[in-house]
Amino acid sequence: MKPILRSYLAEVNLGTTTPGKGQNINIQDYPQLREVYICGLEVFDKNQLGISPSGKTVVSALSGITITLMDKFNMEMIYQYPTFDLNPANVGGFYRDFKPFFLQLTKSYISILDTTGLAANESVMLNIFYITAKDWEKYKSLYGAGK
Amino acid sequence: MEQGNNIECLKTFRIKIPLFNEQGNGQPGQKYFFPDNPIFKGKNIVGIDANLNEIAPFGPAIQQGDLVNNDGNLGALLNFNGAKFVYCTIYGEDQIEKFYNVPLRSFYMIPSVTAITLKKQPRRVKPYYGQIFPRKSFLFIPVSTVLFTNKTYVSLTFYYN
């Protein structure tokens, strides 16, 4: 695992009605996550988080949810990655680190492939590890980028 | 010193953070700030680990050193289940928010186990990196949480160079 320089816990709420199969839910805009390079991600379910910081119930299972992360060129850099495998509890305590890319969070989304165990108004919790664009030149060698 | 295969450090230190108010309970929706401990000054942190009171089926309660489960002043060491309701925000030495709402439970990441497959596995130290400004850093209990009716404290180990 690479060093974590900054992190931000983002919340994706499933909405006021139970999501349907095949539905995509966009990740909302967080000002802190504009102009950043994402370098890692972890996702949690109800076994790790009893309640979200905003008081929402956390999803009980991640097995039917995938995530797609877009870069600033609208490329799907991480495409339909199973969020189950992004939960450190399922992968020996590790988090997944990526070769950093410039994140476009508002075009990134989660996909619901299986609604089993999901309910309206629950949230998927994403802990995003990132480097700000202004710090990128300083730290990029740490992440094997920019050679 | 290494733990798992993810960090390397020269030294460690540990701090305790009270998670209660003057009434002796942890109120939801409130922040509980880190003690302003000078030990943070000039230390480059390379990893953070939570020391939690494990509960069945994970193992017996911690009863070693000063990490007692019933400290007269600080109350009980936060347990594994309680950590699911606490978030940690840490500011950098430049007083800019560095790690926002990190789930405390993620500082103590062991794989999911059930009673049938109970097996101790190595824990990973999350490689959170940089210098920390404790006076602005805090723990947060979200609204709607009803667990913290007694005095509780959190113990965090910081690995540094």
Give mean pLDDT, residues A64-68: 96
The pLDDT assigned to B25 comes to 87
Give mean pLDDT, residues B66-81: 79
Of A8, A42, A93, the CB nearest to B110: A93
Q: Record the pTM.
A: 0.91
Say if residues A123 and A13 touch (Cβ distance below 8 Å): yes
The pLDDT-based confidence of B116 (bands split at 50, 70, 90) is very low
Give A-chain residues touching B52 at CB under 8 angstroms: none
User: Is a pLDDT exceeding 70 seen at residue A91?
Assistant: yes
Q: What is the 3-state secondary structure (H, E, C) of chain A?
A: CCCECEEEEEEEECCCCCCCCCCEEECCCCHHHCCEEEEEEEEECCCCCCCCCCCCCECCCCCCEEEEEEECCCCEEEEEEEHHHHCHHHCCCCCEEEEEEEECHHHCEEEECCCCCCCCCCEEEEEEEEEEHHHHHHHHHHHCCCC
The pLDDT-based confidence of B30 (bands split at 50, 70, 90) is very high
How many pairs of residues across A and B have Cβ atoms under 8 Å apart?
94
Query: Cα–Cα distance between B116 and A50 in angstroms, integer?
Result: 23
Residue B97 forms contact with A (CB below 8 Å): yes
Contact across the interface for A49 and B84, Cβ inside 8 Å: yes
Contact across the interface for A6 and B98, Cβ inside 8 Å: yes
Residue B33 forms contact with A (CB below 8 Å): no
Q: What percent of chain A has pLDDT over 70?
A: 98
For B107, which residue in chain A has the nearest alpha carbon? Answer: A93
For B96, which residue in chain A has the nearest alpha carbon? Answer: A6
The pLDDT-based confidence of B2 (bands split at 50, 70, 90) is very low
The pLDDT assigned to B113 comes to 52
Give B-chain residues touching A4 at CB under 8 angstroms: 99, 126-129
Residue B124 forms contact with A (CB below 8 Å): yes
Give A-chain residues touching B130 at CB under 8 angstroms: 5
User: Is a pLDDT exceeding 80 seen at residue A1?
Assistant: no
